[in-house]
Amino acid sequence: MSLLIKIILLFVTLAITAIPALAIPDSRSLPTDFLVWSFLGCCALIIVAQVVPMILELRKQAKLAAAQKKLPEQHRL
């Protein structure tokens, strides 16, 4: 579980540090900025909701494969 937390913290840190690089140089803000960022946030939630279970399933399969590798040859499926 700590690996998953480290990955999430890495993505959050990268997202926070990338925001100033994407800033508009002038002081005016467009009224549609909130809608655009809301849409992008929803897209990011959809992607994360699909990637996290995939990572968990891969970890589970890796543990199962490691456990089967430890078994003698006659007990394997």
Residue 61: its pLDDT value, please?
94
Summarize pLDDT for 13-52 with one digit per residue, the tens.
877 776 666 666 655 666 677 888 899 999 999 999 999 9
pLDDT band of residue 54 (cuts 50, 70, 90) is very high
Query: Is 46 among the domain residues?
Result: yes
Boundaries of domain holding 49: 32-69
Mean pLDDT, residues 50-55 taken together: 94
For residues 9 and 44, the model is more confident at: 44
Question: Count of domains in the chain?
Answer: 1
User: Residue 41 belongs to what H/E stretch?
Assistant: helix 33-70
Q: Give the Å distances, CA to CA, from 44 to 16, 28, 37, 49.
A: 14, 26, 10, 8
| Whole-angstrom Cα Rg for the chain | 21
Q: Which residues of 29-38 are buried (b: 16+ CB within 10 A; e: fewer)?
A: eeeeeeeeee
pLDDT > 80? residue 73: no
Query: Is 37 among the domain residues?
Result: yes
